[in-house]
Structure 1
Amino acid sequence: MVRADRDRTLSRKKSTGGLILYVNIKWCNPGHVTVKDTICTPDIELLAVGLRPYYLPREFSHAIVVVVYIPPSANAARACDVIHSTVTRLQTDHPGAFVTINGDFNHAKLPKTLTGFTQYVKCSTRENKILDMMYANVKEAYSSSALPPLGTSDHNLIHLVPTYKPVVRRQPVTTRTVQLWSGEVEERLQDCLQITNWDLFTEDFGEGP
């Protein structure tokens, strides 16, 4: 469990709350979970966490999960600017990382702010609206489907199924032909080695002119 509790002074909100990320210990050792950044403003709450799971496709160095909450009263442009600057810095520091941005975006959207990211939540998350989104810096990575809300929440859960194919599985199959020596050929080679005068390679011919 990784928490980023709300600072009521910075957020200018009277209620408590914040962000939380649960990491399955069967997927990633707790010792390989690192908080990269936390931000709390009236327009956005953000938690960025670096993860080194037991297995990742070799084209990724590690994973960075960015969790956000943008309040309904927030300035969407300022919130997106914060996400843009934070994610850009993380990508500059970790160019080989697999990066996801997910959370409750309400009325904000990222396509004009961050290029190279795909939004994967295609089903409604509250009534007939898509308020909760999940962006990733890899194409064709997930398919999504809605699940019932958790507890008394008014937002649906989203089930994301990985569809990404690692580079090694997308490369064409290479066929190589290896010639095996027969027993007769091996015997001929042994005969050649036995009759070779190996002393010629060890005699001292003296210094040249």
Structure 2
Amino acid sequence: MVQELCASSSSFCSSLVEYMTVRCRPFYLPQEFTTVFIFGVYIPPSANAKEALCEHVDFAMRGTNTLDLGYTNIPSAYRAEPRPHLGYSDHISVMLIPAYRPLIRCSKPVLKQVKTWPTGSISTLQDCFECTDWNMFREAATNGNSINLEEYTTSVTSYIGKCIDDVTVSKTITTRSNQKLWMTAEVRALLKSRDSAFRAGDKTALKTVRDKLS
């Protein structure tokens, strides 16, 4: 049974290793990760764990003995540090610190210029376009019987861009490496409302916000 489980789940298992896998999605998780797999591994004393797994604890915990061994299948995935005794324990504890650095810590935030549309700006832009004599752009780009399409296109797009600049407001925002494009201010506000409703135990409000997020 152990061999069948190992054959279908991993390539580094042997018949001397037993483990159970739990797939979970914690409430708080870095955005670049979608799920977490937790493995509970049992290694009998007669097995040579170093053939399949990487050991991370390399210091003594009671006298000269290393009692708690941290194993993973990824070399240098964790850094082990000694910690004080827990309660009346006869040996010190171990803290495994992930060597992985989240994207938000690896790269600095970037400042970007974006345009915002105040209330009524779209109507103002539509009025501007309705009052525009679009034929003047074609006439300006016409030479004899031919129309310079590049000049025609450039003049029209430049005019549209100027009209947009006149009715919009530019502001500076901060973007981070782990920020998704769909994570807008509206989505963040809904997520904040969802968390508040969850903590308050308001099932009606929670259902309403979840429907809007779906």
Q: Provide TM-score, normalisation by structure 2.
A: 0.37
Greater percentage in helix = 2
Higher relative contact order (CA 8 A, sep 6+): 2
TM-score under structure 1 length normalisation: 0.38
